[in-house]
A and B are shown apart, each in its own frame.
Chain A
Amino acid sequence: MEKVNSIENATAGGKDRAITFTLVGALLGARRTIPVAIGVFAVGLVFGVLARQAHLTMLESFLMSGLVFAGASQFVALSLWVTVPLPVIAIILTTLVVNLRHLLMGASLRPWFSRLSPLKAYASVFFMVDESWAMSMSDFGAGGCDMAFLPGSGVILFVAWVSSTIIGHTLGSSIQDPAQWGLDFAFTAVFLALLTGMWKGKSDLLLWVVAAIGAVAAAHWLPGKWYILLGGLAGSITGALTHAK
């Protein structure tokens, strides 16, 4: 059944497909994301340790992980959390810049999410982080049509992130750096595996090369996460120019 769907819809681009939003879809998203959640848990432990070292209270660390729920920007915020009084505006603006890449990710959801009720769509995007978005786009691209996959995938990452923040804050520096075990590479490996499934053939080569060169150049010259936004824009615009027929 799933196979038939993916063949039929491979060229439809999501447009003519009936979409659903069910608990079954959310559970599928959650189940598929368990391996990634283990990696998120490891990183969250480190965040909890560093948050404590930066003198955030348990409540503040919990609030930040639960309300912001964006790892990279939270680490950057900790690096600015050193002066008294806090550089409030600098921290908030830096958070905005680090998370601008979400704009591009959210735009790519439009063909599917425009057919959900606004409540479902705008509640779901709270759970859109790099990993849940990547898992969902991979699923939708392969014929998946249950939009609850995204919040399902995001909720399990949310639970992993918030709980590990609390545990890390409690245990303090007795936790070892996950990079010692290669765990920092887990996300790269997952994203590479998802990319392998998205490869459509030689027509993708140019846009992937442009995205890669753009990202490496931006990562070299610019701070933070600009490289994701700039590389993604360069590659997707190249793809639009070469694929639109």
Chain B
Amino acid sequence: MPNDMLAVFTILGMALVTYLTRAGGLWLMGFVTPSPRVEAWLRQIPGAVLVAIVAPTVLASSIAETLASVIAVLVAWRTKNVLVAMIAGVAMVWILRHLL
């Protein structure tokens, strides 16, 4: 196969496996009998996954990210506004990276 055909083929393969991961969780849960414990597990996934996404950046990158994270949480908690918290966090990390 010529390399440009191979590239398109590779992209189609990436697209297929990625869609399968998106549909797979929803589909597989159809085979699980709902129970209070399973429902409790599903309810805890969003918080747990979000914590897992941010934890390495917040806790284990540099002091600038850690301090900017504290600011973003405080601003989100006070204003209840995601956009304001995002701007505060980005501004803070930008300033701290230049200072530290």
Contact = CB atoms under 8 A, between A and B. Distances in A.
Contact of B54 (A73, A107, A114, A188): A188
Contact of B23 (A122, A189, A216, A243): A122
Q: What is the interface residue range for chain B against chain A?
A: 35 or more
Interface of A is mostly: helix
A181 B91 CA distance: 8
A77 interface: yes
A126 B91 CA distance: 32
Nearest to A192: B72
Nearest to A122: B23
A206 to B, nearest CB: 11
A75 interface: no
Q: What is the interface residue range for chain A against chain B?
A: 35 or more
Nearest to B15: A67
Contacts of A134: 46, 50
Counting chain A CB atoms within 10 Å of each CB, the highest count among B7, B8, B22 belongs to B22
Contacts of B17: 92, 95-96, 99
Interface string A81-100: 00011101001100110011
Interface of B is mostly: helix
A128 interface: yes
B39 A96 contact: no
A68 B10 contact: no
Contacts of A219: 55-56, 60
B26 interface: yes
Contacts of B59: 212, 216
B71 to A, nearest CB: 9
Interface stretch (A22-30, A55-63, A163-171): A55-63
Given A189-B90, A231-B55, A244-B41, 9 more contacts: A86-B10, A95-B13, A96-B18, A105-B25, A182-B97, A188-B65, A189-B85, A195-B50, A195-B54
Interface of B: 1, 3-4, 6-15, 17-30, 36-60, 65, 68-69, 72-73, 75-77, 80-83, 85-86, 88-94, 97
11 contacts: A35-B83, A63-B11, A64-B15, A85-B6, A105-B49, A185-B65, A189-B69, A196-B73, A219-B56, A238-B48, A244-B36
